[in-house]
Structure 1
């Protein structure tokens, strides 16, 4: 039987929490699923509950199940007005309570891990490469994913994947973008990320070797 040579990409969004009774991140990921990433990419999408313990269980299990070339996490930020590419995840400072009124006992992701881990994907390069004239969405870059479930998920994933993860923050629906606009933005961004990941100059953060 002919072997499947497709690349595998896993994309997650988050479930409801707080005022976000409909989480724009999961809606955007579902829109991406409708659009797909082309015939050469096998796309798998998952909704993650806003719970620290669920993240620690689900992220490793999804990595083991799919062994993706790239793991993309999408979250909502009530303060965001652009689609934001996060450069790094942080290990410490997790005091915000999740949907089960829980936070990590030691307020960190990985005991003894580096304070910060960066994606091997240069987010500035990705942002600069997005020139799709049909993409009526502003893309920006950030170094602070917020020290809540988004940041916690990103660091956990970066640690497991040795940097082959990315995190994208989206604004709430209608503020200012529609679900369709967010889905198209994700499709374009991830396509560019895959191209950057394959580039021989893709860099690995020196902290990954620790």
Structure 2
């Protein structure tokens, strides 16, 4: 666990309902010339770390394809009915776990996805709003991060990460799953895993896992007590890397 003890997390879970809340964590398959994508590894490792605290966590890997990534995600949500959905993606070049605040209705790919698709200025959802905010308590998460490498980010890019992020938030906004829609959802970028390669700037896998566990813990804490006063966000709240 990162900041909260397992006992504290179990107490928060009890305040929801008599049922155990479900959290869905997703990462992506490798793309481009890379044979490894740390987002999938972090999602799996964080899920295993959180399972021991009484949280029902499901991890899955999404295809790095514009056409199918959101479809796979939506099927997972329909099947598992999670209270929290956090999609993870790789941000090579960053050195902190970035909690994304807004997805934009734009697909602009510098390289082709794994299906050979390379959109150039097309919307994620035709007729959708220009941007949609995550419902994760992003500033609360960052302000409570302490020594963990967690920051706010104002850009999820315009590749498949942002595609999934925007599609998810649009579906939540229109109530695509009715009463079973996630109560909190968003996107988190993780740095490159320096345990695998030092070609890109990054951090060790364990630090990304701790950061993602913290994101889950603070989200559950916020859902169990949404009226708690907002923590001070003037300290330690970076703005992430715009790209």
* TM-score relative to the length of structure 1: 0.84
Q: CA deviation at 1:147?
A: 0.5
| Structure 1 SS opposite 2:136 | coil
Is 1:91–2:105 an aligned residue pair? yes
Q: 1:59–1:156: 8 Å Cα contact kept in structure 2?
A: no
1:166-191 CA distance string (max 9 Å, x none): 21111111144222222222112211
What is the aligned partner in structure 1 of residue 217 from structure 2? 191
Q: 1:87–1:123: 8 Å Cα contact kept in structure 2?
A: yes
Count how many residue pairs are aligned between Structure 1 and Structure 2: 196
| Structure 2 SS opposite 1:117 | strand
| Structure 2 SS opposite 1:44 | strand
What is the rounded CA distance, in whole Å, between the counterparts of 1:68 and 1:158 in structure 2?
14
Q: CA deviation at 1:43?
A: 0.5
Structure 1: which 5+ residue stretches go unaligned? 203-210
Moved over 4 A (4+): none
Higher mean Cα deviation, 114-123 or 96-105?
A: 96-105
Higher mean Cα deviation, 115-124 or 31-40?
A: 31-40
Q: CA deviation at 1:105?
A: 8.2
Is 1:151–2:171 an aligned residue pair? no
Q: 2:125–2:167: 8 Å Cα contact kept in structure 1?
A: yes
**Aligned residues: CA RMSD:** 2.2
Q: CA deviation at 1:4?
A: 6.5
| Structure 1 SS opposite 2:98 | strand
* TM-score relative to the length of structure 2: 0.74
| Structure 2 SS opposite 1:157 | helix
What is the rounded CA distance, in whole Å, between the counterparts of 2:51 and 2:225 in structure 1?
19
Structure 2: which 5+ residue stretches go unaligned? 1-16, 174-182, 195-200, 229-243
What is the aligned partner in structure 2 of residue 45 from structure 1? 59
1:83-116 CA distance string (max 9 Å, x none): 1110011112434421111145872211111110
What is the aligned partner in structure 2 of residue 114 from structure 1? 129
What is the rounded CA distance, in whole Å, between the counterparts of 1:190 and 1:148 in structure 2?
24
What is the aligned partner in structure 1 of residue 151 from structure 2? 140
Alpha-carbon distance change, 139 to 105 in structure 1, aligned in 2, over 3 angstroms: closer
Is 1:102–2:117 an aligned residue pair? yes
